[in-house]
Structure 1
């Protein structure tokens, strides 16, 4: 019962500490024989204690906390603990007096207890052992934590040495040190779980003297085969507090790095931000990392990703916790998230699974832990659910997890009351994610004229929906996007509205206005979005059906083409259109780099070379390539080289008999023409007897008299008719 009360009280105090948003309170108490400090760390926090000359340092790997030590020396004197000082790396240094030792353990609540004890006194030689008095603990302060923990009794005095000479001591075995560290960690954990009662004793006395001249012990392995684990951790492997190890070798990020629901309260946003801004700069105008993280997390909990990123950037904070904050902020602002180890943790059984799924790229296909995703989403504050919910639904549907997507949609619907303008926006996002943009468009069109914060989001979605279906954006919508972009200039919404304006202009062929607006984009503002907008605008130009419009816009700014940014498909489309228009010159620049070495790029370059009547260059590009287009281009290259027989064979093998017949005609293969040509061609071959193996008979002559004239006239009429029919087979140039 007493243990239950202790743990319950500890949980309440730990919850109060969490409300201070990573500001760790430090409690103190004075007792006979030792002074005690209690560091109220969050549950599951890893900690390390290191000793140096006259000090003990507490560290929390992977975390950076601030420590509230204002009341420490109000309750204890400075006879054992002389000072406490926060370190730049987030640790805290406890200066200790000479003649003291220390002992530490962790409670189930996560709090770390540090005792600074008087070192045991060694009696004078010949004096009997002296037993230190054991007095009851004073429970004036924080009795909840150390009611069951009494100060240890000093060890009995060792008998006097028979000789005045100090023998040589054997060096400690590093393997034993390693085993001791592991056992102490597991014993502390067992004590926090209530499995054992921990009674901390002072460090063991020095190892037994080694006689002078004794042979050193044989060298042993570098590691002892020892493992320790508490019964709770053994029986509850799935719920052990240690970080989960993924198949890719990564350890899952802890939940506290993504606990947005614990970073804010029900107080007004302004009051929370004001409180979080306190204490950002400490002594010597140095920023307090824990305070900066606290402010950035407050912004995140309220849904202000831009402000959170600006806070980290403004104070130059570069800690593991800051990396997680910046990652979540980018997801909230719907910005491209750079490849991060966090994006590969979707399989984790914790809060990081949600954010990994939301931030990972299309190339990452690890199966996500959908149960962890649902749990994490349900714990989010309502404003954050409204922001990330529709995108989460879209990604779940793309994974084929329809039931999970419906459950997330239901969570969003329950969080937003009927009649709230945000409800319509969320429903529209879900419809778009489910592949039903036609249902979403009327809802969005009815929201864009409202004077509300959701109107800008609705306008952005409306434009994106029409562009994704390849439909033009009407002029009124484009003008509204331009006006809202000017109104919200400098914000993430303003940048996305500017993108909507630019791409809307391009969707109706107003590329001059679109490129002018792109050139006027504020320098340094959302560079990733600028790059995506430029890429999309050039993609629209590549697909515009009007060749005159395409050529005019391309040639006007051919030196501005962002070749390295454009998708390969867009570059190939523009190259083929230029070649077809008889302007192959810019093609080599468009296909520069690795694209020009791919099969598709080589075929496009070969087509441009043929347009320039450069047969050898075309054949060099087409070497070892197959496919119908490559085959046809090879034949055309041989035509340019007057190698009609080779061209005829290639065309015939490809099944292109008209082209093969044309090359047979040019090459004089009359047998092929007679077998495969048109009726007019066959008639001409027969008329002149071109397939005869022997020279044909001489044509009629006037020397043959009247009969010769008649034969000559008849032959002339036959030739005229044959040539007329042959000419009819070829269209006018």
Structure 2
């Protein structure tokens, strides 16, 4: 079946397994997903409330025959999955605690129909008891008083006052047992199984029988509805199970104890298998495959044990006999010989040869999909998202190792011990081939212990020339913070000119940028040559980005901007934004003023917000220092959608002052405190002519002389400390001048004239001393 998967589709991979008497489907549901499973005849429908969900059933029939299950169909993303059954089968379903939905397709009796909803299983009926499913209409009650008694016993045991019933408690065993309450976090089932010996007699049943037939039927129907709701929830969680046993060609419901103990006497009502949430979580569910030692969704280790598919004999001695047995009479392919030959190729690491052999097999041959995936991974290829090992890094056994290789990264739920043990079991040639990649992935995850363990496993092999070992050791050095060792390993890999040399060179240049280290002048030319070779390949875009960074590191800014234009044309605006950050960072930090302004002024006007965001603050600081306030403000405006930042607001106020906009500067400084904010606020107030307020802010910052100057301009001489700084002396002289210019009183005309002359001379001398003592202020020269 082919399904068109949209760009944002959420793929749910279905896996399968064949067991005695039933076939099993297992799929991982997204978190907090509601689902329902319904059956009508030989057709079942699985629905989940995810509009983007796509079911991947391509692997199902690799492990099971098309007997109980025949086909699957989904019309599109979010549509229900329609399951076509090949028999009159019974569906049983439950959800494990880790979110895996398990659907069992069990053999049923001919002519028997099943219907389920939201995972609820059919309850069936007791043999010979047609009214057991609480069919308590008045006619039925008249026909069978015994059935009414049974229904009433299940419905309620409480006394009825005023025709009202309390919630029923169900007796499931005759002997006394402790009360088990299922915890909320484990399951939504809100039911309590009470097995109290004192309540086993149900003495209140006769009270229900005293009602008229209509009231009895209504009461029992309400209890039936509540009881079935709880049974449905329990079945949905795998806590209740219906077991059908053949007795004299009839299906009779029987009780299965949670722990498999079935030798005790059975109660007639014990037709359900009851399992507590604790039993379920501890793996004590009454499943028919209790002997299984692996998770249901995990690929078996024996299907992946590459280290067991060969021996120490020479390659030719093992391959030759298998090749001779490949074809039988009439040139027919021997299936067993072909599988053995492919496995031997995989043991020796020949993935391409193994795929050629597997391609000769007919479609649907056993285990070919898994073997093909192993062959691709051994050759360093990549698998689609829905590969055979998807979602299995948390499994025990070898599948965790191959799932990590296929995913290209160690996931948070990965079984690190299983991955490491599988690597240690590999033959030497596969260990040195795959070990560096495992070590690198552990280093990238931040697991120093496992990364070092993988490197030690490679060292114990005794092989001197190990491919990719330099990259693995560089990644480990990066994890431990040893940048010198990392640089040495990368340089060695580049010098060896291996297939990993371009990747090592890009990592080396990136490290030089992060550490702000000098770069060899010939490396930009080397990266350009690799870019020419891989222009249209997978590494092309990354090499072009690294080339821009390398040119900037060596100070070739003009060539770097030319390379940036080439990158923009070939890789688009997103790649341009990524390359712009290191280029403009290095331009701001290392370029001379002329070179910086040549590109920064254009960038300030033409850059998009995405381009400006990473470098706007550092570029604004340098533009303000160079006196380009308008361009600095233009750059800061591009960050309008970014969260408020105190540093950015201070620079915006500084830019406003540079453009002689003191009122705007005061607006930007509203709510800000600190020395820099007070100084900028004082400058803005000064330009507004509010010298007194400016002096107050300067006094807060202990700028006493500047504050005295402000107070002197505002003629607030009382606020100036006498003799405090230069303008303290100015204030004293000013006060003296005020006294000297006053005309003398009550003097004769001649004495008055003499006093005026002396006052004039003294005033002139004081003014001359004042002008000599006060430095000329450039800002007050106007």
**Aligning the two structures, in what range does the TM-score lie when normalised by the shorter sequence?**
0.5 to 0.7
**497 and 660 in structure 1: CA distance in 2 versus 1, 3 angstrom threshold:** same
1:16-72 per-residue CA deviation (whole Å, 9 max, x = no partner) reads xxxxx9996979xxxxxxxx9864868999999853245567999976244549996
Q: CA deviation at 1:622?
A: 1.1
Is 1:64 paired with 2:75? no
Instruction: Choose which of 598, 618, 621 in structure 2 pairs with 1:573.
Output: 618
Over 3 Å counting, the alpha-carbon distance change for 1:601 and 1:684 in structure 2 is closer
**Which of 672, 682, 690 is equivalent to 1:643?**
690
If the length of structure 2 is used for normalisation, what is the TM-score? Answer: 0.56
Could you say which residue in structure 2 is the equivalent of 1:393? 443
Between the aligned partners of 2:379 and 2:764, the Cα distance in structure 1 is 96
Say if 2:23 and 2:64, in contact at 8 Å, map to a contact too.
Answer: no
Structure 1 CA distance for aligned equivalents of residues 495 and 705 of structure 2: 61
Q: Hey, what does 1:620 align to over in structure 2?
A: 667
Contact 2:72 2:82 in 1 (8 A): yes
Cα deviation digits, residues 528-559 of structure 1 (max 9, x gap): 66543333333333433633322211123334
1:479 aligns with 2:540: no
- Distance in 2 between residues matched to 1:608 and 1:451, nearest whole Å: 52
Alignment pair present for 1:549 and 2:595: yes
**Aligned match of 2:735:** 690
User: What is the CA deviation profile of residues 337-393 of structure 1, one whole-angstrom value per residue up to 9, with x for unaligned ones?
Assistant: xxxxx9xx9xxxx99999999689xxxxxxx67x94444465478666534633533
- 1:179 is aligned to 231
Could you tell me which residue of structure 1 aligns to residue 85 of structure 2? 94
Matches within 5 A, 1:197-208: none
Aligned mates of 2:569, 2:613 — CA distance in 1: 24
CA distance in 2, matches of 1:521, 1:622: 41
Secondary structure class of the residue paired with 1:446: helix
Asked if 1:490 corresponds to 2:536, the answer is yes
Does the CA-based 8 Å contact 1:652-1:660 persist in structure 2? yes
Q: Is the 8 A contact 1:635 1:650 kept in 2?
A: yes
On the 8 A contact 1:25/1:39 being kept in 2, the answer is yes
Contact 2:14/2:56, CA 8 A, preserved across alignment: no
Match of 2:555 in 1: 509
- For residue 582 of structure 1, what is the aligned residue in structure 2? 627
Q: Offset at 1:627? A: 1.8
1:270 maps onto 2:315 in alignment: no
**Structure 2 vs 1, CA of residues 53 and 42 (structure 1 numbering), >3 Å: closer, same or farther?**
closer
- Which 5+ residue runs of structure 2 have no aligned equivalent? 1-12, 49-53, 75-79, 95-101, 113-125, 131-137, 142-216, 254-271, 290-294, 307-342, 424-429, 745-750
User: Are 2:503 and 1:451 aligned?
Assistant: no
* In 2: Cα distance, 1:43 partner to 1:82 partner: 18
2:471 corresponds to? 425
Mapped contact 2:477–2:485 kept (Cα < 8 A): yes
Alignment of 1:101-180 (within 5 A): 114-115=106-107, 117-119=109-111, 175-176=227-228, 179=231
Matched residue SS, 1:655: coil
Asked whether the equivalents of residues 352 and 379 of structure 2 are also in contact (C-alpha less than 8 Å), the reply is no
- Once structures 1 and 2 are overlaid, which stretch shifts more, 583-592 or 374-383? 374-383
Distance verdict in 2 for CA 1:662–1:487, change over 3 Å: farther
Q: Is the 8 A contact 2:42 2:89 kept in 1?
A: no
Could you report, residue by residue, the CA deviation over 1:172-206 in whole angstroms, capped at 9, with x for unpaired residues?
86844873895699699999xxxxx9769989699
- Contact persistence 1:648–1:660 (CA under 8 A): yes
Classify 1:457/1:682 alpha carbon distance in 2 versus 1 (closer, same or farther; 3 Å): same
- Cα offset, 1:90, TM superposition: 7.0
User: SS of the residue aligned with 1:554?
Assistant: helix
* Mapping of residues 312-327 of structure 1, within 5 Å: 321=386
* Equivalences, count: 564
After superposition, residues 522-533 of structure 1 pair within 5 angstroms as 525=571, 531-533=577-579
Residues 1:605 and 2:652 are matched in the alignment: yes
Partner of 1:85: 71
Distance 2:73 2:239 in 1: 28
Unaligned runs of 5+ in 1: 1-20, 28-35, 74-80, 121-154, 160-165, 192-196, 207-224, 243-251, 283-289, 313-320, 329-341, 361-367
Counterpart-to-counterpart distance in 1, 2:128 and 2:755: 152
- Specify whether residues 595 and 490 from structure 1 end up closer, same or farther in structure 2 by C-alpha distance, changes over 3 A only: same
Query: Separation in 2 of the partners of 1:515 and 1:496?
Result: 16
What's the secondary structure of 1:448's corresponding residue? Answer: helix
Please give the alpha-carbon distance, in whole angstroms, between the structure 1 residues aligned to 2:484 and 2:555.
24
Structure 2: distance between partners of 1:717 and 1:69: 111
Is 1:468 paired with 2:514?
A: yes
Cα 1:672–1:519 shift into 2, 3 Å: same
Separation of aligned partners in 2, 1:241 and 1:615: 83
Q: CA deviation at 1:691?
A: 4.7
Cα deviation digits, residues 402-449 of structure 1 (max 9, x gap): 655644554565589433252222212211221111122233223313
Q: Distance in 1 between matches of 2:303 and 2:554?
A: 43
Displacement after TM superposition at 1:643 (Å): 0.8
**What's the CA shift string for 1:191-234, capped at 9, x where partnerless?**
9xxxxx9769989699xxxxxxxxxxxxxxxxxx9951599756
Call closer, same or farther: CA 1:384–1:202 in 2, change over 3 Å.
farther
Deviations 1:72-105 (A, max 9, x none): 69xxxxxxx7993343477652244xxx565889
Distance verdict in 2 for CA 1:451–1:613, change over 3 Å = same
Task: Tell me the CA shift for residue 274 of structure 1.
Answer: 5.9
1:631 aligned residue (678, 690, 705):
678
Change (3 A) 1:651 1:40: same
Residue 580 of structure 2 corresponds to 534
Residues 1:564 and 2:610 are matched in the alignment? yes
SS class of match (1:557): helix
State the alpha-carbon separation in 2 of the partners of residues 555 and 458 from structure 1: 35
Contact 1:606 1:619 in 2 (8 A): yes
Name which of 42, 51, 54 aligns with 2:39.
Answer: 51
The reply to whether residue 520 of structure 1 matches residue 561 of structure 2 is no
Further displaced range: 477-486 or 177-186: 177-186
Q: Shift in Å at residue 456 of structure 1?
A: 1.6
Hey, what does 1:663 align to over in structure 2? 710
SS in 1 for 2:493: coil
Distance 1:704 1:56, change over 3 A: closer
By how many angstroms is 1:689 displaced?
Answer: 4.9
Residue 639 of structure 1 and its aligned partner are, at CA, apart by 1.0
In 1, are the aligned partners of 2:704 and 2:725 still within 8 Å (CA)?
A: no
In the alignment, the residues of structure 2 paired with residue 254 and residue 535 of structure 1 have an alpha-carbon distance, to the nearest angstrom, of: 45
Q: Would the aligned equivalents of 1:22 and 1:294 in 2 still touch at CA under 8 Å?
A: no
Structure-2 change in CA distance of 1:111 and 1:237 (3 Å): closer
CA drift of 1:599 comes to 2.9
| Structure 2 contact 15–60 (Cα < 8 Å) conserved | yes
Structure 1 CA distance for aligned equivalents of residues 586 and 660 of structure 2: 31
C-alpha RMSD over aligned residues: 6.2
* Distance in 2 separating the partners of 1:443 and 1:714: 84
1:488-533 Cα deviation digits (max 9, x unpaired) = 2234433332222111222233333223222222768597665433
Q: 1:376 to 1:189 in 2, by over 3 A?
A: farther
How far 1:452 sits from its partner (Å)? Answer: 0.8
- 3-state SS of 2:495 partner: coil
Indicate conservation of the 8 Å contact 1:102/1:114, yes or no: yes
